[in-house]
Structure 1
Amino acid sequence: MSLLFHHLRVHQVFGANTDVGKTLLTSALVRASAVAGKAVYYLKPVSTGPLQDADDEYVTRFAGPQKSRIQSRCLFRYSDPVSPHLAAQREPDGGNAPPSVPSDDTLVKAISGHIRECARKARGHAHMYVETAGGVHSPTLSGSTQIDGYRPLFLPTVLVGDPKLGGISATISSYESLALRGYMVDAVMIFREEYYRNWEYLQSYFAERDIKVAVVDPPPAKLEDYSQNFQKTERYYEGIAPTTATGPVFDLLAHLDSQHAARIAELDSMPRRTLDQIWWPFVQHGLVKEETDVAVIDSASGDHFSIYNGRRDQTAPDSKTSLLEPQFDGSASWWTQALGHANPALTLAAARAAGRYGHVMFPQGSHLPALRLAERMLKSGPGKGWASRVFISDNGSTGMEVALKMALRAFAVREREHGGSSAGRPKDLGVIGLKGSYHGDTIGAMDACEDSGVYTCEWHDAKGYWFDPPTVGIRSGKMVVSLPPAIAALTEDGKSELNEGPMQHVYDVNARLDSVLAGVYRRFVEDTLERLQARGAPKPAALVLEPIVMGAGGMIFVDPLFQRVLVDVVRTSPALSRTVRAGPDWSGLPVIFDEVFVGLYRLGLESTTSILGVHPDISVNAKILTGGLVPLAVTLASEAVFDAFGGDDKADALLHGHSYSAYPLGCEVANETLRIVGKMAGSAEWADAQAQWRAGGDQPAIVWSFWAPEFIDALSQCDAVGEVMTLGTVLALRVAGDGQGYQSHSAQRLLETLRVAAEDADVDEPGVAPFGINYRTLGNVAYFMLSLNTPPATIRHIENRIWKTLQPSSSRN
C-alpha cells in the first residue's frame, strides 16, 4: 500500500498534540509549494465538526494568489466536533460518510486511491500533504490509534511540534512513537514561542538525530470580526510564504524535496550495490546477474512487502505509476511471520525489554521475560504434560543442536548405567530419521540429516539412518498415501498408492493404529532396524523427526501413522536399547520433535503431538515463537533427560551457550506473540476456517487449513499439478511430470507471473487492491504460506491468482 512517485512528493503531517497549529503550518506548506510553482494536493482524510471550520476549507480559504494550483479534498466528513471514532459511531450515515464505521483498511485504501488519482492528474513535479487529526495517537474512525492505522501507507512524515508548556515532552514522545513504528520523520515544524522557547531545545535535540527543525513565526491572535481576521491572517501567510520564495518554510520545502530525491536515488542504487557486495543464503549467484532480479524491499506491513520497481520500468521518471508496489509475503519470510510485519504490539514488547534490560547474561541468573516464557511453554504451551525444563537459545538450528546434545548424552548415560562398556563410544552414536529431513545449517544439525548433496558441506558427516517415508497428498480430488517401494513390497497387492479415506481419517492416527497398513509399517521398521544392527551400523541414540511436514526437504507431508509407528517401535524395541520400560521416564531411544517449522499453529495446531498421539522427550520451537520479529528458540526436555546432566562435575553439565542466550527482547516478544496467538486460536475467524474442513456432522476437524477446501480440490485436478496438500497456513503443490526434485526450476517457471500485481478486474476481489505475490520454490514444489491473521479476502485473492495462473482459460466458481 506504500506509494512513491518520481513526480509527486507526498508527506503526511502529524501533530504532537491537538491545537499545536498543524493546519496553520500545513497551509503554509501548501501555499509555499504553490508559490514555488508546484501543483499542490491537500488531503484531510477525516474531518469532524462544522464545514466552515473544516481544515480543508481553511486551506482553500488561505490558498493565496496561486490558488489555482491547489486542490483540497476531504474523504470522510462528520458534523459532530468530537474524536473521529465517536463521530463515526454517532453519525454512521451522515455527510458523505459510508453507512457503517469505516475500518482502517477502508480508510487506508481510500487515501491510497486518492493519492494515485492525484499522481495521475499531476503535471510536472507536484507536492501533496496528507494532514492527520489531533495527536499521533488520536483515534481513527475504527477506534485504533491513527499512528498504527496509517502505518501501511508508510508516507514520509512532517511532525508539528508543540510550542506550549509541556510541549517538549509531547513532541519528543510523539517522535519516539513514530520512530518506534518505523516512520521516516523528515522534518519537524514548530512555532517560535519566546517565553517557553521549546523550539530552541528541540532544535538541539533533533539536530543530534539529523532531523531538520523549521521554526516559523506564530500566527496573530484571532479576531472576532471575520473580515478583519481574514485580512490579518492573509497578511501573516504573505509574511511566512512570500512571493519571493524565501524564509524557513521555503528552506523546509527544499529539504523535503531533497529527502524525496535522496530516497529514490538510494532505492535505485541498491540493486547494483547488493549484487556487488551481498552474499545471499540459498541463492546461486551465477543465476542472478540482472539488477531487476533483486527485490528491493522499502518497507513491510501486515502480510506485504513494499517492493521498489523503478529498475524494472526504465520509463519510470516519466511514469505516473508508483515506484513501490505491494507484494504478498508468500513464504511468511521463511516461515517466521505469525502476526504480519511491523506488528506494533510485538515492536512495543521488544522496546519494553530493550529499555529495561538491553541484554543480560543468563547463566545462573533469571529475568522475568525468560522465566515467564519458560512457565508458559511448560504449563500451557507445547510442553504441557510432559516437559519440565526449557533451554532458551537464539535460532532453530541452535535449538536442534542443543536437542541433539541432550538426547545423545541422555542415551549414553542411561546405557552406561545399564550396559557398561557395551554402550559403545559416544562418538560412534548416530540418529534415526527420515529422508528429506532438515534441521538447520549448523554442522551438528546437518550431521543429523542424510547426505543428500543439497543441504551439506565438506565437513558434513551423516551419522545415522534415514527411512524413506510414505507421504500423503491430494491428487485429482482424492487423498492418496504414497508408499516407497520397500514398503509397497510388503503390502498384499504391492501397490504404491493407497486410498486411506478422506483427510480427517488419514490424520486420525489413533483410529488407524490397528489397521493393516500400521502392521506393514511396524514390520518394515522392525526388519530394517534388525538388519542395521546385524551389519554393525552406528548405534542409534535418538529418533529425530520433523513431525507431519518436512519443510526444507520439499514440503513433504509424511503419513502421520508411519511417524507414530516409528516412535512406538524405537521406544519398545529391546534391540535398540537396554532401557525399554514402562512409566513416565523415556523408554528405548529418546525422541526429538523438530517443531521449528510446524509448531505453534503453523499447521493449525499448537503442537503436532495432538495428531501423533505421543509426546516427545525433547522438542524445539522457533520461528513463529516470536512472530517473525527477532530470532529465538526454545528446547523443551523431560525431567529424565535433564537428570542425565546432573552431578558434581561441571564437565557433566550441558556446556552449550551463546552470548545472547535467553535474550530478553526475544523472550518478551515471544510472550506477547503467544498471548496474541492464544486469543486468536479461540476466535470466530479460526472457527469459521475449521468448520469448512469438517468431515461431516458436528465433529470438529482433526486437521484444517486456512485455504478453502474447494480451492484445494480444484487445484488438485489441474493438469499442471501433480499433487497438492495443505494444513493450517501451508499450501504446497508439486509440478506434474517433473521428477528432478530440488534441482528443478519448473515450479519457478510455472508461477513466475504471480510476482507482478494483476490489474484484471475479473481476478481482483472486491475491496482487495491488486498485489504481487512473493513466493519461494523448492525445486519442483511451490509453496505458499500465510500469517495466522491473514484476512480471508486476501487468501481468496491469492487463491484466484494461483488458479488463473494454472488455468488461464478457466475461471473458478
Structure 2
Amino acid sequence: MSTLFKNLRVHQIFGANTDVGKTILTSALVRASTIKNNTVYYLKPVSTGAPEDADDGHIQRFAGPQKSLVHTECLFRFGDPVSPHLAVKMASDKNGETVRSPTDETFVNSIASYIRRCAMADRMGHMYIETAGGVHSPTLSGTTQADAYRPLFLPTLLVGDGKLGGISSTISSYEALLLRGYIIDAILLFRDEYYRNFEYLTPYFAERGVRVVTVEPPPPRAEDTATNVSITEEYYSRITSTSGDGLVYDLLSHLDDCHSHRIEELQSMRRRTLDTIWWPFVQHGLVKSEEDVTVIDSAWSDFFSVYDAPKGTPGNSNKNTSLLEPQLDGSASWWTQALGHAHPSLTQAAAHASGRYGHVMFPQATHLPALKLAERLVHAGPGKGWASRAFFSDDGSTGMEVALKMALRSFAVKAGTTLSSSAKKNLGIIGLKGSYHGDTIGAMDACEEGVYTCEWHNAKGYWFEPPTISIRQGEVTVSLPPSISSSSDSSNHAMPSLSSVYDVESRLHTSLATVYRRHIESTLSNLMHKGQQFAALVLEPLVMGAGGMIFIDPLFQRVMIDVVRDPKLFPARDGPQDLSQGLPVIYDEVFIGLYRLGFLSSTSLLGVYPDISVNAKILTGGLVPMAVTMASESIFQAFWSNHKTDALLHGHSYTAHPIGCEVANKTLDLLEKMTDSEQWKQAKQNWVEKNLEEGSSEIWSFWDRDFIHSLSHLDVVNEVMALGTVLAIKVKDKQAGYGSHSAQKLLQSIKFSPSDDPLLSSAPGGAPFGIHFRTLGDVAYFMTSLNTPRATIESIENRLWNTLSNAGSP
C-alpha cells in the first residue's frame, strides 16, 4: 500500500505515450535535485532493450557534477526492446524454458521494498520511479501500468506528448490517471515550436488546478558519440540552471511543497475532524484524544492507507518510518464492500454513466442502466421465480420504508371495507427481537424499542425472541430462548453439522418444528384476541446484523412464514382474492443478500419466496448508495387503479440514479464470474471435506473450518459463527449487550501491526498490516470481500488466534 516518508519525497513518472521524453525530463529532475544537495534515488522497475541504452544508465551518465548523490536501480531487465509483457514471453522462447512472469503482487512488493530501503537513509532524499511507455502500457503480467501501480498510490508526474496528436494523448492519459484516484502534482511538456501543444495544454490544465511545466526540447542526436554526450551535457546544464528560466529548478520547489502540504494536511485532519464532524454511532464523549481518529489517506482492495502509527507502537516520530500504514478493512466498510476498494471496473462504470446521463428524472421514464438492472434482478437474480417489479431508492433504510408501504397497502386492500381508517394507522408487523431495518423513522418503528430508536419511536407490532445458532466448544448448537425452551426437552440442541441446521425442508418434520409452530401460533392468536392487528411479517433472514450478528435458526423463520401464510390464522377478507394468502412477507436482505453469506438469496435455504425483498450494500460493490425493493405481482396490483392517489406515492430525488444502476450492473457481472472462481471452489471444498457436511454445498465460509472450531474452545470466547464472508465472535462478558466494550478492549491490539509478528503476512506493497474492525458490544465481527485472497484471510486468522488465545477474560 501507499507509503509516505518525511525524509523521502517520492514521485512516479508516467508518460502520455512512448518516446515522449520521460527519461530526459527525469534526468533533469535528478540533476536538479542534486543541486539542492539531496540524495537522489532513481528506479526503473522494468527495462527492456540493450543494456547500453538502458534508462538507468542514461540517468547515471548525466547526473551532473554531484553524481555521487545519485543511486540508480532496475528491478526487472530484459534484452528485447519490446513491451514488458512480450519481453517475458520472448525470454521464454529464447531459453527454451518457461520464464514465469512476476505477478502484480511481486512487482508492486519489489518497488515498495526498494522505497522502504531508500527511506532508511538519514538525509533528505528525492526518488523518481520511471514507468515504461504510456499510462496503459502493459507491465510484465500484462496488467496496464495505471492499474498495476495503483496499490502504491504514489504522487505522480505526467510527461505530456508534444508531437502530433499529443494534445489528445496527454488529456486522455491525465483522465485515465485521475479516474484511478492518482494525485497528479504536475504535467511536464517540451516546448515544441512546430506543434505548439504546450500553448493549448497549459491553460487547459491550469483551469483544472494542475501545474504545467514546459521545458525546451533536447537538441537533435549527434552521430558522433562524444559530440552527442557533450551537447546533451550542455543541454542538461542549461535547463537545470538556477538562472535563466529556471523552470526545472522551480518545479523541484513545487514538488517539495506538494510533499510538505500533503503531510501537513494529514497531520491537521484529526483535530479538524474533532472540531467539525458529527460521527454516526459514535459517543464523542468517549473519544479521548486525536489518536482515536482514524485518518484514511486512500483505500485499495481490502485495505485502507491510514495516517500515523498510534502511540505505543513503533512510532512515526522516526523520520525513516512511513507516515502511512496499511490497515485491513475488517468490517467491509459497514458491510458495503464486495470487490475491494477502488475497483477499476466499477469506477469506469460510474464514470461512463456520469458522462452519458449525469442524473435524469425517472417517473414515467426509463434509461438503459435502470432497465437492465431491474430485469436481471427480477428475472435472473434474487427475484427470480416470484418478483415482477423493482422499485429504486437510495439506501437500505429507504428501501425498507418502501417495502413497509407496499406491505401495509397490500394488507389494507386485501382487508377491504372491514378495515377502518383508524385501524389502518395501528396496523402492526411481526418480527424478531434484535432486528434492525435502518435509521429512518418508519424503519425504526418496525423494530421494538432499542438503542437505535429515537424519541418519536412508536413500535407497532410484536417481536419474537428467536432461537439462535452458534458453535460452542466445537459443537454446532441451536439455543432456545426461555419463551420456547419451556416447551422443549432442552434449551440447547446439539446438531451434527451446519448443513443439517440449514436443511430446513428435512427439519420441518421434527419435534422442534412442532414446538416452534405451537409457540408462534399461540402467541399470535392471543395477541389478535386482545385486538392487535398485524399486516406483515418482516425478517432479516438468517442473520440479524446490527442487532449483534445474531445467526437465527432458519427453521424458526421458515415456520414463522408458514404460520403467517396459513389462511386458518389469517383468513382472506372481502378484498381482491387474487392477492397472496395470509400476511405479506418482507425479506430485508440489505446485509446478507448477493453472496454475503455465500449464496445469492436466503430463499434457497428457507425454501419459500417472500412477497417483498430489499437489496442494497453489495448491490453496488460499495461504490455508491442504492437500494432496490422487489415485489410480487400481487403486491404491485394493490396499487393499480385509475386514481393517481392510489399509486405508490414514494420517491427520492435520485431514484434509479444512472450511476448507481450502471455500477450495480457491473457489480453483478463480476459477482457472476467470481462465484465460479477457483478460490470459491476451494473454500467450499474445505468445509465439505473437513466438516463432512452432508448435503448442501451452500453452507460454507471463506473462514477456515478448523480455525472456527478451535476458536470456539478458547476460554475468553462464548461462541463463534461463520458463513460466507462473515465471522462473528461473542466474547464472555457479564455486562453483555450493545453497551459493552469488552470485544473492543479484548481485540484492541490487532488494530496495529507489530513488525515482529512472524505469522503476519503483508498487504499489497509488502508492509505488515493492522486490522480495522468494529464491534457490537460483546460481539466482534469481521468480514472479507468476495475476492479477498486466502493468504490475507489466514493472516487475520493467525492474528485473532494469537490475541484471543493469550488473553484473559474481559
Q: TM-score, normalised by structure 2?
A: 0.96
**Which amino acid counterpart does residue 396 of structure 2 have in structure 1?**
G
The reply to whether residue 486 of structure 1 matches residue 483 of structure 2 is yes
Shift of 1:737: 3.5
The reply to whether residue 804 of structure 1 matches residue 802 of structure 2 is yes
SS of match in other structure, 1:168: helix
Structure 1 residues 293 and 150: alpha-carbon distance in aligned structure 2, compared to 1, 3 A threshold: same
User: Separation in 1 of the partners of 2:74 and 2:5?
Assistant: 22
SS of match in other structure, 1:136: coil
**Which amino acid counterpart does residue 541 of structure 1 have in structure 2?**
A
The reply to whether residue 261 of structure 1 matches residue 260 of structure 2 is yes
8 Å Cα contact 2:596/2:725 also seen in 1? yes
8 Å Cα contact 2:599/2:698 also seen in 1? no
Matches of residues 657-672 of structure 1 in structure 2 within 5 Å? 657-672=651-666
Partner of 2:464: 467
2:641 paired residue among 644, 647, 655: 647
8 Å Cα contact 1:548/1:557 also seen in 2? yes
1:429 paired residue among 423, 427, 431: 427
Structure 1 residues 342 and 356: alpha-carbon distance in aligned structure 2, compared to 1, 3 A threshold: same
Shift of 1:578: 2.3
Partner of 2:62: 62
What do you get for the CA RMSD once the two structures are aligned? 2.1
User: Separation in 2 of the partners of 1:577 and 1:460?
Assistant: 30
Shift of 1:212: 1.1
Partner of 1:726: 722
Partner of 1:81: 81
**Which amino acid counterpart does residue 79 of structure 1 have in structure 2?**
G
User: Separation in 2 of the partners of 1:789 and 1:702?
Assistant: 17
8 Å Cα contact 1:32/1:245 also seen in 2? no
1:610 paired residue among 604, 609, 628: 604
User: Separation in 2 of the partners of 1:698 and 1:484?
Assistant: 27
Partner of 1:27: 27
8 Å Cα contact 1:581/1:588 also seen in 2? no
Partner of 1:524: 519
The reply to whether residue 763 of structure 1 matches residue 759 of structure 2 is yes
Partner of 1:39: 39
8 Å Cα contact 2:733/2:778 also seen in 1? no
**Which amino acid counterpart does residue 657 of structure 1 have in structure 2?**
G
**Which amino acid counterpart does residue 747 of structure 2 have in structure 1?**
L
User: Separation in 1 of the partners of 2:799 and 2:244?
Assistant: 50
Shift of 1:586: 2.0
8 Å Cα contact 1:576/1:588 also seen in 2? yes
Higher relative contact order (CA 8 A, sep 6+): 2
SS of match in other structure, 1:692: helix
8 Å Cα contact 2:471/2:720 also seen in 1? yes
SS of match in other structure, 2:708: helix
Structure 2: gaps (5+ residues) = none
User: Separation in 2 of the partners of 1:782 and 1:405?
Assistant: 34
User: Separation in 1 of the partners of 2:645 and 2:356?
Assistant: 34
Partner of 2:540: 546
1:740 paired residue among 736, 739, 757: 736
User: Separation in 1 of the partners of 2:329 and 2:661?
Assistant: 25
Residues 320-360 of structure 1 show CA distances to partners (whole Å, capped at 9, x for unaligned) of: 01000000000100000011000010000000000000000
Matches of residues 380-395 of structure 1 in structure 2 within 5 Å? 380-395=380-395
8 Å Cα contact 1:621/1:635 also seen in 2? yes
**Which amino acid counterpart does residue 775 of structure 2 have in structure 1?**
T
User: Separation in 2 of the partners of 1:641 and 1:563?
Assistant: 21
The reply to whether residue 280 of structure 1 matches residue 274 of structure 2 is no
**Which amino acid counterpart does residue 519 of structure 1 have in structure 2?**
T
Q: Number of residues paired by the alignment?
A: 802
Residues 722-756 of structure 1 show CA distances to partners (whole Å, capped at 9, x for unaligned) of: 00000000000000244421010000000000110
Residues 562-621 of structure 1 show CA distances to partners (whole Å, capped at 9, x for unaligned) of: 000000000005333426999985210000000000000000000011010000000000
Partner of 2:409: 409
8 Å Cα contact 1:275/1:289 also seen in 2? no
Shift of 1:697: 8.1
User: Separation in 1 of the partners of 2:81 and 2:576?
Assistant: 72
Matches of residues 498-647 of structure 1 in structure 2 within 5 Å? 498-537=493-532, 539-578=533-572, 585-647=579-641
8 Å Cα contact 1:724/1:734 also seen in 2? yes
SS of match in other structure, 2:232: helix
**Which amino acid counterpart does residue 667 of structure 2 have in structure 1?**
T
8 Å Cα contact 1:8/1:125 also seen in 2? yes
Shift of 1:696: 3.3
**Which amino acid counterpart does residue 483 of structure 1 have in structure 2?**
L
Structure 1 residues 172 and 719: alpha-carbon distance in aligned structure 2, compared to 1, 3 A threshold: same
572-581 or 331-340, which deviates more: 572-581
SS of match in other structure, 2:131: strand
The reply to whether residue 362 of structure 1 matches residue 342 of structure 2 is no
User: Separation in 1 of the partners of 2:34 and 2:601?
Assistant: 60
User: Separation in 2 of the partners of 1:243 and 1:254?
Assistant: 12
User: Separation in 2 of the partners of 1:711 and 1:314?
Assistant: 29
8 Å Cα contact 2:619/2:627 also seen in 1? yes
8 Å Cα contact 1:39/1:123 also seen in 2? no
766-775 or 129-138, which deviates more: 766-775
User: Separation in 2 of the partners of 1:243 and 1:203?
Assistant: 22
Structure 1 residues 471 and 599: alpha-carbon distance in aligned structure 2, compared to 1, 3 A threshold: same
SS of match in other structure, 1:782: strand
Structure 1 residues 403 and 258: alpha-carbon distance in aligned structure 2, compared to 1, 3 A threshold: same
The reply to whether residue 711 of structure 1 matches residue 707 of structure 2 is yes
8 Å Cα contact 1:754/1:773 also seen in 2? yes
Shift of 1:761: 4.4
476-485 or 566-575, which deviates more: 566-575
Shift of 1:316: 3.8
Shift of 1:99: 5.1
Partner of 1:150: 149
SS of match in other structure, 2:387: coil
SS of match in other structure, 1:91: helix
8 Å Cα contact 2:742/2:778 also seen in 1? yes
Structure 1 residues 368 and 526: alpha-carbon distance in aligned structure 2, compared to 1, 3 A threshold: same
Shift of 1:698: 8.8
User: Separation in 1 of the partners of 2:30 and 2:78?
Assistant: 24
8 Å Cα contact 1:571/1:580 also seen in 2? no
SS of match in other structure, 2:32: helix
8 Å Cα contact 2:387/2:631 also seen in 1? yes
8 Å Cα contact 1:619/1:635 also seen in 2? yes
User: Separation in 2 of the partners of 1:81 and 1:582?
Assistant: 76
Structure 1 residues 85 and 581: alpha-carbon distance in aligned structure 2, compared to 1, 3 A threshold: farther
Shift of 1:401: 0.2
Structure 1 residues 311 and 476: alpha-carbon distance in aligned structure 2, compared to 1, 3 A threshold: closer
306-315 or 365-374, which deviates more: 306-315
User: Separation in 1 of the partners of 2:99 and 2:695?
Assistant: 39
User: Separation in 2 of the partners of 1:94 and 1:804?
Assistant: 49
User: Separation in 1 of the partners of 2:704 and 2:753?
Assistant: 22
Shift of 1:770: 1.1
Structure 1: gaps (5+ residues) = none
Structure 1 residues 183 and 421: alpha-carbon distance in aligned structure 2, compared to 1, 3 A threshold: closer
User: Separation in 2 of the partners of 1:581 and 1:697?
Assistant: 47
| Percent identity of equivalent pairs | 62
Structure 1 residues 765 and 318: alpha-carbon distance in aligned structure 2, compared to 1, 3 A threshold: closer
Q: TM-score, normalised by structure 1?
A: 0.96
User: Separation in 2 of the partners of 1:463 and 1:431?
Assistant: 6
8 Å Cα contact 2:34/2:67 also seen in 1? yes
SS of match in other structure, 1:341: coil
Shift of 1:93: 11
